[in-house]
Amino acid sequence: MWHLLAACVLSLCSTDPLDRLEREVSGFTFWEQSYEAPVGNSREQEYQRLQRLVWMVLGVQVQASATPGVAGLASREARIIAIDPTLSPNAALQVLAHEAGHILQPEGLSKAEAEVFADAVAYLVTGDDVHVYGRYLAGSKNGLHVMRAYRREIEWAARVLSGR
71-124 pLDDT, tens digit per residue, is 999 999 999 999 999 999 999 999 999 999 999 999 999 999 999 999 999 999
Is the pLDDT reported for residue 56 higher than 90?
yes
Q: Is residue 9 one of the residues assigned to a domain?
A: no
Average pLDDT, the chain: 90
Can you give the residue range of the structural domain that contains 99? 17-161
Strands 72-75 and 61-64: what pairing? unpaired
User: What pLDDT shows up at residue 12?
Assistant: 52
Closest CA to 25 of 118, 132, 157: 132
Cα angle 73, 123, 125 (rounded to 5 degrees) comes to 85
Cβ–Cβ < 8 Å for 161, 100: yes
Number of domains forming the structure of the chain: 1
Residue, of 28 and 6, whose pLDDT is higher: 28
Is the pLDDT reported for residue 1 higher than 70?
no
**DSSP class of 28:** S
User: What pLDDT shows up at residue 88?
Assistant: 94
14 — pLDDT class (breaks 50, 70, 90): low
Q: Is residue 10 one of the residues assigned to a domain?
A: no
Q: Is residue 12 one of the residues assigned to a domain?
A: no
CA distance 105 to 88: 25
164 — pLDDT class (breaks 50, 70, 90): confident
Is the pLDDT reported for residue 2 higher than 60?
no
3 — pLDDT class (breaks 50, 70, 90): very low
Q: Is residue 30 one of the residues assigned to a domain?
A: yes
Q: Is residue 8 one of the residues assigned to a domain?
A: no
Cα angle 74, 80, 82 (rounded to 5 degrees) comes to 60
Cβ–Cβ < 8 Å for 22, 147: yes
Q: What is the pTM (predicted TM-score) of this model? A: 0.89
Q: Is residue 2 one of the residues assigned to a domain?
A: no
